[in-house]
Structure 1
Amino acid sequence: MLSAESAAAVRATLPAVAASLDAITARFYDTMLGDRPELLDGLFNRGNQADGGQRRALAASIAGFATALLERPDERPDAILGRIAHKHAAVGVTDDQYVIVHKYLFAAIAEELGSALTPGAAAAWDEVYWLMAGALIAREALLYAEAGAHGGRTWRRWEVVRRTPEAPDVVSFTLRPGDDGPLPPARPGQYVSVRVRMPDGVHQLRQYSLSGALGGRLRRITVKAERGGPDGAPPAGEVSTLLHDTVREGDGLTLSAPFGDVRLEDGDAPVVLASAGIGCTPVAAMLHHLAETGSRRRVLLLHADRSPRAHALREETAGLVDGLPSAERVFWYEEGAQDLDGTGGGGAARVLPGLMDPGRVDVPADADVYMCGPLPFMRTLRESLLGRGVPPRNIHYEVFGPDMWLPQG
């Protein structure tokens, strides 16, 4: 994929570029958004800009793509590309925006590296960028076509038909489309973007997993209000807080088509659904699908939370598991586990104190694992599963926000 001459130049300069990527991406975003502030209106997440999450994710994707080209020159790094393409499609990225990014990114590289960036090295990194951009443009075009959202025109107005409190600071919104047109398919595990106008007039997007009602013309998202830091000041949690505080039944919301490369695949292999906190939302959609299709697969639901009261969708997901013929569930709570039946017991339902410990359950080595939750939780769980013989290819994960993990293997 990468020419031999460019590969040599990238290999020689990768250490310098990698060491400067944080500074490069910081300069890139500061300059681009300073010149083009309209990009913050409905495209870039200013919360991720404020905490550096988007900058670190971009740096990781560039370094990961370049490294993959060098280490596996005959393969395209599909795992990296697939995840990014779905994230881009969910916010409506268009082909022309890659040209804008190229302009500001390469200006930042030149300014940060100075004389260390020779013309040959610049040409080589330019080749890396357009290989990555071209592959993403092709993938995103296919995703838009599948969703009937050509050219990034993915937005649609929906009406809130039901608002349901699920746990402290967690609310579900059941939605129906505002028109009679055909709906793009929604697969269990996928998410939608919600586009809202903030009090200062700027539009912001956030992604929320579909937590149920995937069939027919109803869909549901379940939103946890992230109240921010000690002073509760934006941009931390500004969209989720706005949804909680202002959206009621009968109101309208603008949603994208569903996207996301982590989705429950049909088959006969055992399924492990593992989550922590609000990571239960894509898992709930997967359980609904298994129940609605009459699945007879072995299903193991694992969830960790602060307490039973904080566990959103607890009774719903427990009921879904209990209705499946070959399913069991184990819940861990940091506090309050003793208040529920089944503490430390066996059988189809178990409630255990403390943090999730997969060593307490029998995880089939041939299971397909889907997990969602905070990054430290998923790192620890993945390491444990690998140690118990679950192949890396069988472990799928969803990250809320920029993906800065990108585990390989």
Structure 2
Amino acid sequence: MAISEKPLFKKLIQFLKEDSILNQTVKNEMLTKNMQRIIGFELVTLLVNLTVIAILSFAFQPTTSVETWWANRIVMLHSVSAIWVSLMCLITMYGNRKKNRLFNTKIIQNIFFMYILVFGIALVTVDQAITSNITPFLLVCTIIGVFILNRPIDAFVQYLVAYIFFFIAIAQYQTEPAVLTSNRLNGLVFVAIGICATTLIWYSERSNILQKREILDQQKKLESVAYYDDLTGLINRRKWIELLNEEIERMKRYRHSSSILLLDIDNFKVINDQYGHPIGDIVLQEIAALVKKELRICDRIGRWGGEEFIILLVETPIKEGIAVGEKMRTAIETMAIAVDSHSIKITLSIGVASLDCEKDFLTSYKKVDQALYLAKNNGRNRVEFCQ
């Protein structure tokens, strides 16, 4: 049996595919988090660079030529780092304002990742001239593993490349074979620590992001149940009144006029009795979709109950509200709803009233309801208004 045909191997391949898909779904959130962390870390790094430069330049007194050489090289590395980090800060802020922000963030993240590792390796390499210490490499491996959110496979490749450079670089000034071997082994341990930290934190953050998404999805579903009509997809009476109250507050502040339209499908009971309630539901859906299409984005349409719909025309005086109602009535009158072998003609009766911000909604509703009654009483398929 070929390896690829073994059940365990197939399960591993399936796991890696699913894991890769999940990683792709959270990459944008991870990049955004990284940008925030990188900006903060760049500022801290710049402060450390300047502090080290100041200490070695003014407070440290070398006693040998080797110490002088070491101090000069460390100051040079931190100077280069300070300049580079300053440029990175500018690049980071510029990248945040560009259209392809997430793409720019990924590039900045990878550059920053490699810069920190190279900087740590350079410090350790220079340190080998006076000490066997490789603490800087431990620090950068740990810091990157903890603070930079990186896919485990990407982190593994980057750490591997960094370790190869580390392995070669420390031999430049460390001449003791035992110390060199010990440092290389310790460096390998530090890399393993960094990879483990990266992996654990990545999966922890991924789990948090996916859980938050699930919570948001549940909230949206609950909101849909609470605020939307299942049949037509329009907001229900409760949500419509909530939006109406917001508009009334705006009207009080800016002193503009708005209008309310109350729509009723003529002879809807006859449609249900003749064609059945499922056909009646389709008629409601078609009417809701067509009327909504005639409105602006800022206008609010809701299902008021049964075959009635209510519309809030924002910043629309009653004269314009009547014109909008007439346009809707004509559009519905000229259409035919094709259901199975049936072609159903529909008409609307529409009442229009002005929304008065100085009075409560009930006063305006009584007027629009009265206008709708007039439309029904005067022969249906018409628009009436009440001042």
TM-score tier by shorter-chain length is under 0.3
Larger radius of gyration: 2
When normalised by structure 1's length, the TM-score is 0.21
Higher relative contact order (CA 8 A, sep 6+): 1
Report the structure, 1 or 2, having the larger helix content. 2
